[in-house]
Each structure stands twice: as structure tokens, then as C-alpha cells.
Structure 1
């Protein structure tokens, strides 16, 4: 391999290492990763190139010296780039240690994209640096063609699992990697020192580019039989945390007594209901959250797929909202301007520290929408989450079942008598409570068994806390999985913003249905939460449409609608779940085989020609003669016969032209002398032989035409050279 080819290999290995580093974009995003990957790929490659220069007698510097110097260079480069903030703060050793030893685990317990913090980015820096250094040393110190790719592929084995749940795709980067690997192999399998270095690339680079385009186009349609391996499933999630010492549900009564206190302000094009906390666990006395909060850079994972939804973006500024719960519409997808932790299951947000007045953030949410048609066919969920939302524990320290449970069951059965579906049962229960009790903000707070029993049996007046908690207990007693949500609805417009006040607090129950997920129900009387202010803001169009759809569902359904046949809707919704037909996989496999054959048939002659040009001069001259015979086969030369040089020259004159006779005659003379001379031929003779062979190829192309030669290349015999 020529010296120039080795140094060209360094540029390719640096590009491979940088592309492998960019694969971490699903973890951090392109912005933070691009400068880290570029520096970590270029600097060790340049260092390896400088140390590979001749020290004495053409020998490079020893490998141990390269190792020592690259470690020192990595420490300095990392401190001045990625860890520069830690260097300024005097925490460099601790940050470096945490990043190298535990950065990967913190990434696995963080919702992607992860925050671009130095202790996390140092993992990318060290992996790309080691890959670039290893690839460069392998390219300079070995003659193996593909060996320099191994360290780079090791980076991919780390980047792909860490970013399996992140946004975006690595298919374009994988296609570029395929192209660069092919180019590297072509460069390192070039001619000897006597041959030009551009010949392997003339055909190889276009073919490598075609291979990369093929990989990019085929990757999205390749059938995959299983979900990708996610190492986050093997990492123990953090335990449920009580993010706030006081539950938001316990604050509702106090907030309602100070209705004009501004909790936060919202800048948005449309009004939405703001969720604060999801309370899904009940112990007989209090409702609490089992949320498993994990850090996130800005993204919140998607929830269950919705049939209909709309996207909304809000700018929220905290005023007098206590605690750490962060309000946002359901379901938040991106939060910017404030570091938060998120519960991947419910989508609720919390701050690391109690909220401070004046703190602002921007949240983008995908708000689900439901229609009466969606609710008509919904069935009550029965998964693990739904079964947990059916529990009615006896209470802390209780040794017997509370008497209130039987009373709740009788009450709920009476309220839902005549219901024929889960949705109808849930809607009828909400409508019953609206008419059964009065809304009263002065009612004593409390949501345990005794409090709700008093609310239903004697008091019959209460706040959103009582109505929602009563609904949840009654719903669970008749088999409806239910949880509570604390949030805010409405507000008061002041200029371009909406002031969400303490009096706008809401508590509502949610029931889980198959395919629909958690659906909100409103058991509050119609006169609740209505402000007399002329500038009051309604709860939102989506909430109003949902309540209207539930009121319609509360009435017994009178058979199928106009023009609708029974069972027709079920057939429509089941269609997407049908398995992919076998012929789709067969077609993809057939197309892949055809493309693979075409690429192999086009590459085989080029690879044979490259092998024939390599080796001692005598072998190169013999290879030039065989190359000329292959050219003449395109115009009818019978390769199965053994012909003399004179016979081949006469065939060329009669079928190609007089110019071919002269080229073949001179080439045949060189081949005869190389096989019979007492002294071996020199490199100049081999170069002349290949000039004659290339001239024959050009003459045959002019005579036969490129289409004819291309059709011959596609024959099976072209793969074997016969």
C-alpha cells in the first residue's frame, strides 16, 4: 500500500469516527453533539498522523508513545472543550469521574433528549476519541483493509442502545457509514507503489455511493419482527417520589377560599385545561401519586395513540403557585425554559425545586379529543394499570372491610341502573352526581371513606375535591378503573395573557378505556366554576365537546345510526391490526436479491481488473493479456478456445479495426517475452502492457457500444470471469 493511500485512509477513518459520534444525536440532539464529535474525531487522527512520520529507517514512533501522548492530549482537549464549565468552577476531577463511570447510567434513566451537560457529553467525547485513535493507528500500522472500521463500529454499539427511545433516526448516518467503509476498503486495496492511486476510486466511489443510497432506501421497509432492544428496561427505575410535602388535593379547599389569588399566567392562542398532578393510588384515607419521575432535557415521551388530537403551545409564568408540580395541558411533549422531571406513564411534570414566582417556561402539548362516535364503541380497559385503578383498600391498620364499601356499591348501582356499556355507566354516574349534590366552597375538606360517606349520605354539598373523590370511589366499586387529576380550568383575561386564579382549580376523575386511554369526566354541577366576570375564559372547546359527547352517551343507545350496519365500525377499526401480507415481504426480498445481483455483476469485472493490475511485473503483464481477451469477448471472441497471440490479433483486426491489431500484436509480444525470457520483465514493461490493454478496451467500447457491454456484464458468467 502506498504512503499516500495510508494518509488518505486517515481522512476516511476520521470521518467514520465523527459520523459514529453523530449517532448520539438521538440522545442529545445534533446541536450539542456536532462540535464534540468533530473535535474528538479530528484531533487524535492528526496526532496519529504526525507520530507516524519516519523517525529512522522509515520506522514510525512506537505504539506505547502514541498511547501516552493521546491520553495526555485527550485530557487537555476534553478539559478545554466539553468540561470547560467544570474547569472554571473547579469541579473538573469530580465531573470527569462521574461522566466516565456513571454517565451512561444517568442517560439510561433520563428521558431523551438528555440535557447537554458536560458530565454526560464527556461519554461521547471519550468514545469517539478512542475510536478515532484506534482506527487511525490500525490504518497506519496494518495492511488489513477493513480493520480500521472495527473501533468505529464499537461506538455504534453504544450509541444505538442509548438512543433507542430518542427522537429522530440514524438511517442516514448508517448509510453514510456504509459508503465510508466501502471507500476505506477501496483506498486500502489499491495498486502498488508503481500504479496510480485514483484507479480504485474511479469505479469504487460511485458504487459505494450507490450502496449507501440503497441502504438508506431499503432500511425503512426492511421487515423487523421485534421491537429494538432497550437497555432502559434493564436499569432499575427510580422509586416513586413524593415530590411535594403537601398533596395538591389537600390544597384545593384553601385555594377555593382565596379565589382571586393568581396562580400562574398563560399566553396561548386557545384555552386549555391545565393538569397539575395525577393521583392514582388510594389507601382508604388519602390519594397520592405513584409517578416515577425521571430527568429530561426537554422531551416527554408520547402517550397512547389518539384517534384525534390537536397541538398547542403555551408560555406559562409562575406567580403564587406553591409546590413543585408544573402545570401543562395533557399531554406535554416538550418543555423549554425550565429543567423538569417527567413521569413517562402519566406525562405529569415536576420541578427539581419548589416553583419560584416569575419563573417562565414554554410547553408544547398534544391534547386528545374524543367524539360521541369514539365513546360509543369504547370498552373498559383491563390491563395492569387499569386493575390497579380498581383497588379499594380497607385503610391503614384496618382488619376488616369498611362498611362504606357496600354502601358505595349500592349507590353506584342505583346511579348507573340501565347502563349497557362502560362508557354509558361512567357518563350516567357523572350526570347523577351533578344533580345529587350542591357545589359549596365552604364544605370541610377531606376525601377518605368517612368524608365521602358523609358527603353522599348527609351533607350533599362539597367542593371539586368531594365530587371527584366520590366519583372515583363509586366508579371503582362498579368495575370502572378510575384515578383523580388536580388542575385548573378557565381563568381571567388580562391583556394578552390569561390569569389562572386559585378559584379556577379543578379536580376531575378519569376512567380508562381500551384504545382511548384515560378519559376525563365532569361530575360537578353546571353552576360550579362559573365566574360572573365578563372577561372570564371558558375551559376550552375540547372540554366542552367531550362533556357534550358524554351527555349523549348517558342516554341508552337506540340501535345503529342511520345507514350504519351493526358491526361495521368494529370491522373498520380492526383493519389496521391485520398482519402484513406475505407477498410484501417476498417482494422486498426479491427486489433486494435483484439489486444485490446487479451490484455484484457490475463490481466483479472491476475487482478482477484491480487484482490483475497488482503483483510482480510478470503477473501484471499476464493480467493485461487476460483483460484484453475479456474485452474481445464482447465482440464475439470464443474464450473457450486456446488461441495464439497472432490469432487474437487477426480477430481484433477483423472485428474491431486495424488499430486493435497493432495494440494486440504489441501486447501479445510482451506476454510471450514475459513467459519465455530468462530475465523477468520490469515495471515499465508491465505499464506498457496495461496501456495496450486499456486501448483495446476503448476500441471495443467504440465498436460494440456501452449498452452491449453492459448487457454482457449482467450475465452470470461475468461473476466468474468465464
Structure 2
């Protein structure tokens, strides 16, 4: 070997090493936007393994002149061999040895993990196979970039694969500016360094065959282009920092989440079922670590349509309706409060909503169903509401780390926040006088809020409407809130007081929403730190949250303390003005006239031949006849209404087909509810109409009717009779707690006849 060859060999090794290092630097810079997605050392390991393996494959292909198919096979072999320990470490034995289960997850993740990655809350850590996209892209990108750098006639194009990797990290990442400037500068510097390296290598290659001036001219062109790119990127970065810009849109911000809160019933709709006498003592949850005086939230409701308070915006597209998966942890660094560690054991609770406090940072499930619950857990950080698709059941357990906002010492110092909540109906006029009395407009917003809460607590009385309590109608529609405002004494429970407080708080100016959860009985001794508290079914309560000017949501309990309920005040009598008589007034009489006998009485009258008692009887019968005729004229419209309803009921019950008879049964119940004053909408579903009435019975009947009407094989024999028996029972329940006057008003009400509250075909399923 000549001296020239010996000197060229080390120079080729150094040149390759420098090229490999610069390409690796571009790849590392391109991986920076991926960090906020994972924020885990497992991501660093996966990215490092992918870059090293891909660079090695590219180097070996260039060194041994592999064909393209051999490089592809090598990439696939590296993916299968290194993918499980690097990208699915949870399925590898000791984090290194490949398992069949891990291999299946790795191969499936190449196709499925992309969608999961953009529909899950970040950071995801090493959850399931979500490291696969980063590992696979880094492996392919590293192999491609090194191959272009060492084997292509245009090595400058090696900057393109890392640039695409950078854009993929930005598109699949999160919408915030963390590390944005640093990422741009890092990729800019490494890219320019690579272009300079290419220019230098090119100059050396052409020096031996071309004049030095030509080589320098080529180098100047490359360096000039690099300088222009650098100036453009630096200028764009400076403009982005100095000038305001609209928020960046990424893939995850455009995808719809898989959990739809509107498919589940509002926790407030079935509020009264928790106070049925036979089940009030059922143990629901055992909780350790709950802050003193804090409530355990089931769900936060921010959408009110005048009938039902629900989760997730009017159409489910708002931020409060977007639930994402939380496999690792959430960053709650911008929330002021104290750290809370909850340990929850599920006893009798069975619902999709996951109780918690504050803003969730991390949740870990335990028990036999831990993997199923972890896979199906979704969370909305706007309302702090969590849910699992399969629902919780007895024996499930979980631990939750959260940030609980600090409670203000006084409500009077609060100022309203600026959050925009889903639109809701205006506060009923009947609440206006109460708000003016308790919270005059002359006070500050905080003072008015304090006055309103104090007024509700002082004026209201608590009754759940059970058999041993004063009657109190369930529901939280606007007509029920109006009834709460007008009734004396004011009578209701958390379902009504929370909604009324939220409406009045919004009227004052505070963004307000309703919370359903569990509250300990204030009369029971408070548990110490670290002790477990067991919530029973009747510990269910509803309260409100208002947002302050600092952006914090402050919980406020507007419910009165349970105490003896005074006697119901009589209704105010209705003053009926009498019509003026059309007869002229009697003539004035003088004292002399009073002394003189009536001249008409002195005249001789002919003998009529009728006994006086018969004459009196005939006169009485005539008067009675006229009275009955007048009553018949007055009552005839009401009788016509009752007859029309009876005929309608007869036609429905004797309809030609079982399906029509079953539909007619639901129509009969819905019309009865409308006659009793419930705001039944004809375009609502049966479940929504049942929720308007409240109680478990209507909901069960609605479900049975939907199943019978839309079952593929039609209803079973006798279903129509059972439906009508249930309708009769529910109609009796509607009328039982009401007075005779109320039942009469319902019988002659036109609510179900004036255009029908329910169409002939009935409500939608």
C-alpha cells in the first residue's frame, strides 16, 4: 500500500465519522418536538436505540453496497428485534427479552398506535405501544438520512428526512410553544453545519480536477445559500416571538375523542333515586386522603337547556365535551392549590363517572380489572371530570394525585372570571325579586354572591320528597325552579338549590356550573388526616363552582342545613271582581212610605186555585232549573275536554297492533305529565321526556317502550297490557301527592290537546 493510500484511508474514516455525527445531530434536533408527547426516560431510550440502529444500517449498507431491498429487510429486522425492549418495554421480560405478547403489540402498534397517540392526553410515557410511532419514524429516518449522506450524489438532501421527522413531531405534538424557539435554532444550526460539511467535501473532491477558483465559487454558492436560509429562519423566529399569532393547530386538536358524554345520563337527572328509603344506607365509596370539608366530585355539569343540566356543551364539540385518555400524567403546574393523594375503594357505586377532587395529575387503578379500567379511562381537564367506558363496580380501586385549589376566606372579595360557558336560558323572572332582596345591585359581585348564598341557606328548607318528608317535586327544569322560588316555605334539595344558585350566580356575572358528588354529613365528626371516610348513598349532594378573576373555580355549597319544616303557608286568595248589575237601583223611600201599607197588597187578588206550598215548590224548581242550566253551560267545555281525553285513551288502548298500543301507552303517560305542568317537548326522546318528569319509573317505562317498538322481532305477547298497567300506575303516582284541585286542573288542562304535547307517532327513540 502506498503512502498516499495509507493517508487516504484514515481521512475516509474521519470523513465518514464526521458525516455520521452531523446527521445524528440533525436527528436529535428533529426529535425535540416529540419530548412533550412522552416526557419519559423511556422515550430517550427508544429514540437513542432507533437513531443508533438506523445509522448503523445506513453505514453498513454504504460500506458493503447493499441493494435497497437488503436495507429494507435490515430495517424490519431491527424493528422486530429491538422494538419490544425499546418501544414496548412493559411487555418485555426484564425490559430486554422479547415476548410473543410484546411482539404482537409492536406489530399492531405500527398501524394502530398513531390514532391512539393523537386521541390521548399527553404526556403518555411508555404507556402500552405508544412509543412505537416515535421509534419507527426515528429508525426509518436515521437509515434514510445516513444512506443519502453516504451513498447519494446529492448528500445535501440528507437534511430532508430529519426535517420531515421534525414536522411529524410538531403535527402529532401538543399546542404550546414549549421548546419551540430552542427546537428551531437547534435544527437550524445542525442543518447549516451539515450543508457546510457537504460544501467542504465537495470542494476537496473537485480541487484535483478543476481550478481552485471554480471550487471556491461552488463553495461560496453553497455557503451563500446556507447563509440565506439562516437569515430567513432567524428572521422568522424573531417575528414569531415578537408578533402575536393565532394558536397552532395540530392533528390531535382536530380529532374527535372516543368518549361521548352526551350518550350517558346526567348525574343530576337521577338525583332523587339516592334518597329512596330502602337504599339510603348503602355504602358507595371508601375514600382516604380527602381534604377536610371538601366534596368528592362525581361530575361537573356546565350545560343547561332549561330541562336537564348535563356534561359537555350543547352539541358535544366544546372543550368541556372533549374527553381524552390519561395513561401517564397531566401537567397541572399552572394550578394554584395543594397536592391531594386520594385512595378510593368502590363499594356499591356503579357508574361511568370516576369520583375525584381538584385537577387530576395522575391516576392508577388497582384490583382485578385494573388493565380494563386503565385502558378505558378518559378525562376532561376543563371540568375536572373523569370517566371509564365500562363503568366502575364493587371491588374496583384507584389512587389519584390531584391539585386542589385553595378556598377563599370570604366570598365577598371575589371578582368574576372570564370563562365562556355554554349558553343557558335566562334566569326566570320569579328569581329576580329574591336576588334583589338578598343581593342588591348596589353591592360588589362578591358581596352579591355571598348574599345570594346566605339567602338560599336562610330561606330554604330541605326535603327529598320521600314518604316521611314533606312533599317536594323532583326535577330541575325551569318550571321546578320557578316553583322553588314561589313556594312558601321554599322546599327542595340539592337538585333544585344548586341549579337556582348557578342561574343567579350567572345573573350576577360569575361563570357558574353545577357539581354532583358526595359530601359528608356536617353533623358527623370529621375524620382525621389519613383516615378513611365511607360515603353512603344518601350522602349525594349538588353544589356549584364559580370562576374568579384569577381563573380558579371555587366550590360553593348553597344548600340549607336540614331542619324542621314549618307548615305550608296558604295560597294567596285570588280576588274576583264582580260584574256590575244591569238592574236599576231601587227607588228611594221616605219614612212616610214605610209606614203606609203597600197599595198593591190591598187590592183584591183573584183566587189562583194553587196551594201556597205548591207555588213555592214550583218557584224553587224553576230557580234550580235555571241554575242547573247555567252550570251546564259553564261546565260543558270542561266536560268536552274530559270526554275528548277519554276517547283518545280508548283509541290508543284499542289500537289495531301491539306496537301502536304500546306507543299509545307512552303517549298517554307523556300527555298526563304535560297536563300536570311538566314541559314535555314533542321533539325530545322518550328518555329526555322521562328525565323531565323525574324518577326511576318513567325512565324504565321509556326504555321498555323503545325496546318493544324497535326490537327486530317486535314486542312480546302481553307487552302492551303490561305497558298500560305501568302507565296507569305512573298516572296515579303523578296525581297522588297533589291536591284535589290540582288533579281537577290536570283533568281539564289543554296542554295535551292544544296541538298535543306528544305527536301521534310519539317521541323519538
| Same-fold status (TM-score > 0.5) | yes
Return the match for 1:273 from 278, 295, 308.
295
Q: 1:95 & 1:244 partners in 2: Cα distance? A: 33
CA contact (8 A) 2:420 2:511 kept: no
- Counterpart in the other structure of 1:319: 347
Q: 2:253 & 2:360 partners in 1: Cα distance? A: 26
Shift of 1:80: 7.2
Matched, 1:423 2:460: no
CA contact (8 A) 1:335 1:361 kept: yes
CA 298–234 in structure 1, closer or farther in 2 if over 3 Å, else same: closer
CA 136–26 in structure 1, closer or farther in 2 if over 3 Å, else same: same
Matched, 1:388 2:393: no
Matches within 5 A, 1:625-664: none
Deviates more, 1:135-144 or 1:151-160: 135-144
Shift of 1:103: 3.8
Matched, 1:329 2:384: no
CA 18–361 in structure 1, closer or farther in 2 if over 3 Å, else same: farther
Shift of 1:167: 10
- Counterpart in the other structure of 1:525: 560
Return the match for 2:494 from 424, 440, 464.
464
Matches within 5 A, 1:596-635: none
Shift of 1:341: 0.9
Q: Larger Rg: 1 or 2?
A: 2
CA 63–495 in structure 1, closer or farther in 2 if over 3 Å, else same: closer
Return the match for 1:446 from 475, 482, 487.
475
Shift of 1:507: 0.9
CA 112–239 in structure 1, closer or farther in 2 if over 3 Å, else same: closer
Deviations 1:411-443 (A, max 9, x none): 434443354333333222211111112234545
Shift of 1:18: 4.9
CA contact (8 A) 2:16 2:150 kept: yes
CA 225–146 in structure 1, closer or farther in 2 if over 3 Å, else same: farther
CA 233–177 in structure 1, closer or farther in 2 if over 3 Å, else same: closer
2:287 counterpart SS class: strand
Shift of 1:227: 5.6
CA 131–233 in structure 1, closer or farther in 2 if over 3 Å, else same: closer
1:525 counterpart SS class: coil
Q: What is the TM-score of this pair, normalised by structure 1?
A: 0.58
Deviates more, 1:434-443 or 1:289-298: 434-443
Shift of 1:235: 1.0
Shift of 1:373: 8.2
Matches within 5 A, 1:109-508: 109-114=119-124, 116-142=126-152, 146-165=156-175, 169=179, 184=194, 189=200, 223=242, 225-226=244-245, 229-232=248-251, 235-238=254-257, 241-242=260-261, 245-256=264-275, 258-259=280-281, 261-267=283-289, 272-290=294-312, 291-300=321-330, 302=332, 309-337=337-365, 339=374, 340-369=377-406, 371=408, 376=413, 378-379=415-416, 381=418, 384-385=420-421, 388-391=423-426, 405-441=428-464, 442=466, 444=472, 445-456=474-485, 457-458=487-488, 460-475=490-505, 481-490=511-520, 493=527, 496-502=530-536, 503-508=538-543
Shift of 1:229: 1.6
Shift of 1:325: 1.3
CA 233–421 in structure 1, closer or farther in 2 if over 3 Å, else same: farther
CA 391–513 in structure 1, closer or farther in 2 if over 3 Å, else same: farther
Deviations 1:98-146 (A, max 9, x none): x445644433332211363455322112210121011111221147665
Q: 1:301 & 1:426 partners in 2: Cα distance? A: 32
Deviations 1:470-510 (A, max 9, x none): 32344556766532101233476389422141244331123
CA 270–67 in structure 1, closer or farther in 2 if over 3 Å, else same: same
1:132 counterpart SS class: helix
Q: What is the TM-score of this pair, normalised by structure 2?
A: 0.55
What are the ranges of 5 or more consecutive residues in structure 1 without an aligned counterpart?
A: 55-59, 196-210, 393-404, 529-722
CA contact (8 A) 2:359 2:404 kept: yes
Q: 1:255 & 1:331 partners in 2: Cα distance? A: 26
Deviations 1:313-350 (A, max 9, x none): 33333333221211222222333446321113212111
- Counterpart in the other structure of 2:75: 70
Return the match for 1:26 from 36, 45, 54.
36
Q: 2:510 & 2:189 partners in 1: Cα distance? A: 56
Matches within 5 A, 1:540-689: none
CA contact (8 A) 2:545 2:555 kept: yes
CA contact (8 A) 1:27 1:112 kept: yes
Q: 1:451 & 1:172 partners in 2: Cα distance? A: 57
2:455 counterpart SS class: helix
Aligned residues: 490
CA contact (8 A) 1:325 1:351 kept: yes
Q: 1:8 & 1:510 partners in 2: Cα distance? A: 60
CA 143–225 in structure 1, closer or farther in 2 if over 3 Å, else same: farther
